[in-house]
Structure 1
């Protein structure tokens, strides 16, 4: 089931339909704590009902690849991994993740994904801290873009 609503609705659906085997949810580090999207809460409902999860939007429509320069600088200090690798490894690092739909659009992106998924390593503590920093920077940038675009219209 592909799900696009609040966690309480998901809980009701899974309670009333226990035969559902897998749930696809929007899940990425920027939306994880977002009260509007409720990625974390929806994930927790899936786990409560022992459902496997398919992740959609792990790179948030390329927003977690095309990062603000301040966010890129945080990841660049860590080494040579791609920005996509942190987003995908964030999602894959949770229990019950059956599949992550990466949204790759060319051969180079596919090769990059394979390079870090072949011998998967979860995010280190240092990388988790970087993800938190990038989340804060990205949320600020996304809000600023929304306000700018809204005010211009």
Structure 2
């Protein structure tokens, strides 16, 4: 398993990190613990040492399951990351209250990587106003946290302000070969590299969208490297950046895990010819997609029952794959109560979207295009 050294921290976790937001689920939407345990066991047996979860994942069940799943392992055999739910903090003392709750859920006495979760301009202002950083630093000084960082979902100027505010141990950003000009983009990555702040990558395959592509795009990759999976190109793209230390993948199936293990057990950076292929695919992909939805689910649940990510997936796939009839069929096969046309424009979803999608307007477009 490829490892990258955090020179600043003096540690070397696996470059492949297990993202605990997309475990396999039962019909009732609970975590399928048997399958998920098998995935984590296989990952760790194969050299994965970075495990990333968060307070809200899987309807607040991810931390509990992860704690249970990791209980049989030596605590020093893995690095555990979780995140402070900044939006729930109403007064400074809440920081410790939520952190202690997370420790109980995880059945741990410490967290290795602790992040201020999904920062935006408004959340950053709340962090400063309530002096949350000082409280997290106290927890670090007590030995309950090793490294302090943040995950980010906003525009570059906000990222620059946050990154330069203090000496961060690391930061976590969304980056893939399609999303180089949204959020902080490559400009933000370059700033982190310049400042010596190690980077953890989320959404390297854009919520799975870059794991299966239209034939015209896949042919470009296969012509250059016929034996590599489509998803591996996305992972190798971000892994080719020297200041990327960990790449998170929310692996739901054993086949996904095995493919990623192959990529990073015999890791090879992109060649100039492969980089050119990525540029070609990126150009075609960007010209087709309708919006930037990664199906992260932060917008859910909709109080009126609309399946927001499901509608956008159908809409985007119809455009990207040029299968408009198939998209209409999939839309009409969806339960009517979950269709875009049922949006009541309450606005609850939009402030939660890390991609800053105009969800209400886009749902109108989906309803019109797929009616």
TM over 0.5: yes
Secondary structure in structure 2 of the residue aligned to 1:30 = coil
Work out the CA distance in 2 between the residues paired with 1:11 and 1:127.
Answer: 31
- Trace 1:52-131 onto structure 2 (pairs within 5 A): 52-78=198-224, 79-131=226-278
For 2:184 and 2:170, how far apart are their aligned partners in 1? 18
Query: Do the aligned residues in 1 keep the contact of 2:176 with 2:203 (CA within 8 Å)?
Result: yes
- Write the deviation string for residues 48-107 of structure 1: whole angstroms up to 9, x where unpaired: 221000000000011111212211111121211001100000001101111001222211
Q: CA deviation at 1:133?
A: 0.8
The alignment yields a C-alpha RMSD, in angstroms, of 2.0
Does the 8 A contact of 1:31 with 1:38 survive in 2?
A: no
Structure 1 runs not aligned, ≥5 long: none
The equivalent residue for 2:174 is 26
Offset at residue 13 of structure 1 (A): 1.3
Q: Does the residue aligned with 1:77 lie in a helix, a strand or coil? A: helix
- 8 Å contact 1:68–1:141 — kept in the other structure? no
Give the whole-Å Cα distance in 1 for the aligned partners of 2:254 and 2:267: 20
- CA deviations over 1:20-72 (Å, ceiling 9, x no partner): 1111000000011x2x3242011012112210000000000111112122111
Distance 1:122 1:44 in 2: 18
SS in 2 for 1:143: coil
Match of 1:9 among 139, 158, 166: 158
Give distance in 2, aligned partners of 1:128 and 1:43. 18
Structure 1 stretches of 4+ moved >6 Å? none
Cα distance in 2 for partners of 1:90, 1:102 equals 14
Larger relative contact order (Cα-Cα within 8 Å, sequence gap ≥ 6): 1
Give the distance between the partners of 2:273 and 2:290, measured in 1 at CA.
Answer: 26
Q: What stretches of structure 2 of length at least 5 have no aligned partner?
A: 1-149, 292-314, 325-361
CA distance in 2, matches of 1:100, 1:58: 7
Structure 2 counterpart of 1:47: 193
